[in-house]
């Protein structure tokens, strides 16, 4: 789904290595479509995460192909936007997307594990100021996520209740879903694939 200039869609952005993509990525995407009343989800497959070892990555085209197979939904679009634009940091990706489609209501989607380390991301406070954020529970990470530097810094902006209003909320605004609890892990999947 590539929006037109007049389109006012609400689109969830799920960035990551997708190394490999798995059922947990799909679960939170489906949950976001339903609970946040989004029109589509874009999986932004990064060429490389600055916080991860480059040697741990499968080839980019393989990760993209596996992500498309795992998404398996008409409203989940697997995108190579970051690779095409030469982007590495989430903040740069968000700013580029908002420049291209200023009328779209973007929502950043992430797992609890990402919120736990969010304060290590480049310009993480600015990310909170640019778009609403939805965080999805993951086994073993929820407590650390909710006690994290980012969650604490933006505690006053956490929304309770009406999740459907998040896409239209003025940032900073974020919500935490403890109703997702998929234990799937790219790290565990890679370990099982290793000889």
What is the C-alpha separation between 46 and 90, in angstroms, rounded? 9
pLDDT band at residue 162 using 50, 70 and 90 as cut-offs:
confident
Please state the pTM of the whole predicted model. Answer: 0.89
State yes or no: pLDDT of 50 exceeds 90. no
As a whole number, the mean pLDDT across the chain is: 89
DSSP string spanning 18-51?
-TT--HHHHHHHHHHHHHTT-SEEEEEE-S--TT
With cut-offs at 50, 70 and 90, classify the pLDDT of residue 48.
Answer: confident
Taking the C-alpha atoms of residue 141 and residue 122, their distance in angstroms, rounded to an integer, is: 21
Sole residue written with tokens 């650390």: 144
Question: Residue 172 and residue 132: Cα distance in Å, rounded?
Answer: 6
Structural domains for the chain: 10-193 (3.40.50.620)
Tens-place pLDDT, residues 106-157: 999 999 999 999 999 999 999 999 999 999 998 889 999 999 999 999 999 9
Task: Give me the pLDDT at residue 8, please.
Answer: 80
pLDDT at 166 over 90: yes
């Amino acid at each position: 789904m590539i929006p037109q200039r007049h389109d006012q869609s609400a689109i969830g952005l799920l960035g990551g290595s997708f190394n490999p993509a798995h059922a947990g990525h799909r679960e939170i995407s489906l949950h976001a479509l339903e609970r946040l009343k989004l029109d589509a989800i874009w999986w932004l497959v990064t060429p490389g995460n600055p916080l991860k070892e480059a040697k741990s990555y499968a080839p980019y085209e393989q990760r993209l192909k596996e992500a498309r197979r795992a998404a398996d939904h008409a409203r989940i679009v697997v995108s190579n936007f970051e690779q095409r634009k030469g982007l590495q940091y989430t903040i740069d990706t968000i700013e580029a997307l908002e420049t291209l489609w200023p009328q779209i209501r973007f929502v950043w989607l992430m797992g609890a594990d990402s919120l736990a380390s969010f304060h290590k991301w480049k310009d993480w406070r600015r990310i909170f100021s640019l778009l609403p954020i939805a965080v999805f529970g993951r086994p073993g990470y929820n407590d650390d996520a909710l006690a994290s530097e980012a969650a604490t810094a933006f505690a006053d902006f956490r929304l309770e209740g009406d999740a459907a209003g998040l896409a239209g909320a003025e940032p900073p605004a974020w919500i935490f879903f403890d109703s997702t609890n998929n234990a799937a892990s790219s790290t565990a999947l890679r370990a099982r694939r290793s000889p």
